[in-house]
Amino acid sequence: MNVLHPAAKMLVKCSASQDVEAGDGTTSVVVLAGALLDVCTGLLAKGIHPAAIASSFHNAAEASKVASQDSDLLTPLAIDSVLGILGPDPGGGATNVDLRDIGMVLGGTVDDTELVRGLVFDKGSTKTAGGPGTIENARIALIHVVVSDYAAMDREKIKKCGANVVLIQKSILRNAYNELGLHFLAKMGILVVTDVKRTDKLGSADHVGDVVLPGSGHKVIKFVGVANPGRTMTVLLRGSNDLVLAEANRSIHNAQCVVRSLVKERFLAPLRLRELSMETTGMDSHCFHAYADALEVIPYTLAENAGLKPIEIVTELRKAHAEGNVGAGIDVKDGCISDMYAKNVIQQLLVKTSMIKLATETVCMILKEGL
C-alpha cells in the first residue's frame, strides 16, 4: 500500500507487524489504533499532555472472513495441519509453529481439499523415455548437481546408493539436468522430479507417485509414508476458480494462525478495563476510560458490518458483561448477543494482546512525535 502521510505509514507497518506476530487481526489493529487516536482528541482538549496520555495508554495496554460454508471441512484440516507439525505431544512444551512448513497446493472444488501427512509437489514427475510414474518402497536422493550422462550419475553415486526416486534441486546459475541425463535416469527405472525448491532430506517413503486431481486434470506428486518427514504437512487445497481458491486459502491460513496462536499462548482471557478506570484516580482514570471507549470500536464495527444496529448491540453487550456473562459476544448469524463459549467461538490471547500492544505503541509514537 502506497501512503504518504507519516502517521499512515506507521499504521501500515502496524498491520504488517500484527500479521507477522499473530497472523490475524490485521484489520482490527488498524481500527483500534484509529479509535485510540480519535479519543486522544478529547483527552488533549481537556489539557492532558500527550506524554501523560501515552504513559496511561501503555498502562491500559498492560492491564488488558466467502469460505464460511466450508468451515466444517477446512477447520479440522487447519487444526490437524498445525498439530501435525507439533508431533504426538502438542502439550509437551513446543510453542513454535512455522506455517511455511504447511504447503499449499492449489488447483478443482473445495470439497476435494485434503490433508496429506507428507509432502506434495505441485507438479508431476518428469516423464522422459517412459520413466516410471509410481514407486513403492522408495529410496529418495536429493541432488543439486548437473545430471548429464552416466559418468555424472556414477560420480554422484546415484546408482550405488540404490535410489529409485531422484529430486533435482532448482538452480539459478545453471541447468541442473538435460534431456540426455533424464533419458539415462528413465532407463534405470528412476522416478525424477525436477526443479525442486525444498531441501528436505526425506531418505525413504512407502509410496511416491503421480496423482491426477479429479475435475481439473492437474497432476501432483505425493510422498506418503516418509520415514523422516520433518513433521511436514501439506494441505492439498482445491477450488473451482481463482476467487474460491484465494478465499479458501486465506480462510484456512487464518484458521492455522488461530491454532498457532493458541499453541504459543495457551490462554484465553477477557479484558475489563472500564472497571479499572473506575478504581483509578487522576489523569489515568480519564485515559483508561477513553481507552475502554476505544476498544468498543471492535464490536461496534462488527455489528455495523453485519447490518445490525451497532448502538443497541454494543449496549446489550455491555449490559451482559456487567451482569457477569463474560462469554457474551455478538452473534452475527442470529443478530443478537449470545454466549460465545456455548457456540464454540473463542478469541485466542495472542491475537488480542498483540493487537492491543501494537495499536497502543503506534498511537503513543504518533503522540510523542506530534504527527
* 244 pLDDT above the threshold of 50: yes
Are the beta carbons of 207 and 138 closer than 8 angstroms? yes
Question: What average pLDDT does this structure show over 309-324?
Answer: 87
pLDDT of residue 269: 43
Q: 124: which residues sit within 8 A by CB, 6+ positions away?
A: 133, 210, 219, 220, 221
The burial of 83, by beta-carbon neighbours within 10 Å (0-12 exposed, 13-18 middle, 19 or more buried), is given as middle
* 26 pLDDT above the threshold of 70: yes
Of the segments 102-116, 152-166, 224-238, 292-306, which one has the largest average pLDDT value? Answer: 292-306
* 141 pLDDT above the threshold of 80: no
Residue type, 202: L
Q: 315: which residues sit within 8 A by CB, 6+ positions away?
A: none
Are the beta carbons of 192 and 154 closer than 8 angstroms? no
pLDDT of residue 289: 86
pLDDT of residue 252: 78
pLDDT of residue 148: 60
H-helix or E-strand spanning residue 354: helix 349-369
Domains of the chain, with CATH numbers?
A: 6-64+271-369 (1.10.560.10), 70-262 (3.50.7.10)
Question: What average pLDDT does this structure show over 98-105?
Answer: 59
* 270 pLDDT above the threshold of 50: no
* 320 pLDDT above the threshold of 80: yes
Q: 13: which residues sit within 8 A by CB, 6+ positions away?
A: 362
Of the segments 87-96, 119-128, 143-152, 321-330, which one has the largest average pLDDT value? Answer: 321-330
Instruction: Round the average pLDDT of the chain to a whole number and report it.
Output: 76
pLDDT in tens, 151-200: 655 545 666 777 788 777 776 555 666 777 777 777 778 888 777 765 55
Question: What average pLDDT does this structure show over 245-268?
Answer: 71
pLDDT of residue 104: 58
pLDDT of residue 74: 78
Of the segments 124-128, 208-212, 290-294, which one has the largest average pLDDT value? Answer: 290-294
pLDDT of residue 143: 72
pLDDT of residue 199: 55
pLDDT in tens, 55-68: 888 888 876 644 55
pLDDT in tens, 359-370: 999 999 888 876
d(CA 169, CA 332): 49
* 284 pLDDT above the threshold of 50: yes
**In which band, very low, low, confident or very high, does the pLDDT at 337 lie, cut at 50, 70 and 90?**
very high
Question: What average pLDDT does this structure show over 103-132?
Answer: 72
**What cell does 243 get?**
476467487
* 218 pLDDT above the threshold of 50: yes
* 271 pLDDT above the threshold of 60: no
* Category of 48 on φ-ψ map: left (φ > 0), alpha (ψ -120 to 50) or beta: beta
Of the listed ranges 38-42, 96-100, 219-223, the one predicted with least confidence: 96-100
β-pair type (233-237, 336-339) = unpaired
How many CA atoms does the CB half-sphere of 273 hold within 13 Å?
A: 24
Question: What average pLDDT does this structure show over 226-236?
Answer: 70
pTM attached to this predicted model: 0.50
Question: What average pLDDT does this structure show over 233-254?
Answer: 77
